[in-house]
Each structure stands twice: as C-alpha cells, then as structure tokens.
Amino acid sequence: MIGNLINSLQFNNNGIVVIDNFLSNNTCNLLRKFALYPPFGYQDFYPEYKAVNFDPLSGGIDQIKVVDEFKSKIKFLGDIQYTRSWCFCYDNKSRGVGPHADPSYININIWVTPNHCINDSKKNGLKIYHKLRDENVPHSLYNGNIAYISKQINDQKFTIVPYKYRRATIFLGSMYHQTMGVDMKDGHDNKRVSYTYLFNKG
C-alpha cells in the first residue's frame, strides 16, 4: 500500500506530502465559517482552542462531500476508508496542539484561514517528527502522555510544514506531530482554523 501511495502522491522519503490549493475557495470558506460559528456550539474545550468532532454520519456540515472532493484529487483515497474528522479553532495567540500521534493510517490536515490573518509567519505551521508510534502501546500513551511522548521524539529529526491557506498536508497518522505555535492577528474572524481527516485501511 505504501508503494501505491508513493506512486500516487510522490511522498517524500519521510512519508509526507504537501499539496497547495487543495480545496476550492468555496469549500474552505464553508469550513472556516462552520468552525468560527458552529451552529450547535463547540463540543470540546481545551485551554487554548476549541473543537467540533465529526463522524461519517454527523450533521451540521456534509463531510462526506468534502471527502468526495479529496477523492477527485487523490486516487488512492478510493482504497482507504474515511473514519472521522474534526476542526480546531485556536485562540489568536496559543501554543497549539502538543506532540502526539493518531490511531489512523493516513491523516489529511488542511488550513482554511486566509494568509492575511497571520501575524507571525514563522508560526502556525505543522511539525512532523520522523518517528512512528509503537503499534503495541495504548492510545493513552501516544496521544496524551507527555512524558512518554517526549522520550519518543527526543533527538528525532522532523519536517516543518509552513502554514498556508488551502494547503493540505498528508502524512502517516502514526507519525508524531504538533502545532508550531499560533500567532494570528486580533479578532475572532482571524483565528487559525484547521481540519484533520483520518483514514484507515478498509
């Protein structure tokens, strides 16, 4: 399967691919508006960001249509199954999401806040470590135990993907990754909004 992914997407040697202008402006505007003003409110509240979670049948916004737009661009998505997704709406100044891995085969991370909303262009991106989570450890360790994760990523090489509106970063979900801090201009409409989609083998 990895061979097919490399052939389809030209993953770099670290298992990461970046595609700009991945979604249409209309789709990005829809996703951004939903995250900034969720009609049913936020579901999860973290110290410096809020979240709305989706599953394939959840209401409020048709994520299946969004995934169909993915599939029109990336052939391999027909071979794996969309599992779930979520959006994060960050405080204008925040540390973002700390290092963790996900219980997925492939992640697609998409940024939907325009570039003119950024205050510090050196922040807001994604840091992906060249380190895979151990398949034999529980989710509570690789996705929540900071002491354990710190040991896993210590001295590991990494790739930094700079923030860019409509940019999709596609990578193996088992790779540890984190936000490169958040620094956006003041105002609610300038908040950094990201969407993450998880896919697993069917």
Residue pLDDT, tens place only, 10-24: 455 577 889 899 999
> Per CATH, which fold does 2-184 belong to?
Jelly Rolls (2.60.120)
Q: What is the pLDDT of residues 111-168, one digit of tens each?
A: 999 999 999 999 999 999 999 999 999 999 999 999 999 999 999 999 999 999 999 9
Q: Which residues of 164-184 are buried (b: 16+ CB within 10 A; e: fewer)?
A: bbbbbbbbbbbbbbbbbbbbb
Q: Is the pLDDT of residue 3 over 70?
A: no
Q: What is the pLDDT of residue 80?
A: 86
Q: Name residue 100's amino acid.
A: H
pLDDT-wise least confident of 49-53, 63-67, 100-104, 191-195: 63-67
Cα radius of gyration rounded to whole Å, the chain: 16
Work out the average pLDDT over 65-89.
Answer: 85
Among residues 20, 15, 12, which one has the least CA distance to residue 131? 15
> How many angstroms from the chain centroid is the CA of residue 156?
21
- To the question of pTM greater than 0.95 for the whole model, the response is no
Confidence of residue 176 (pLDDT cuts 50, 70, 90): very high
| Cα distance from N-terminal residue to C-terminal residue, the chain | 12
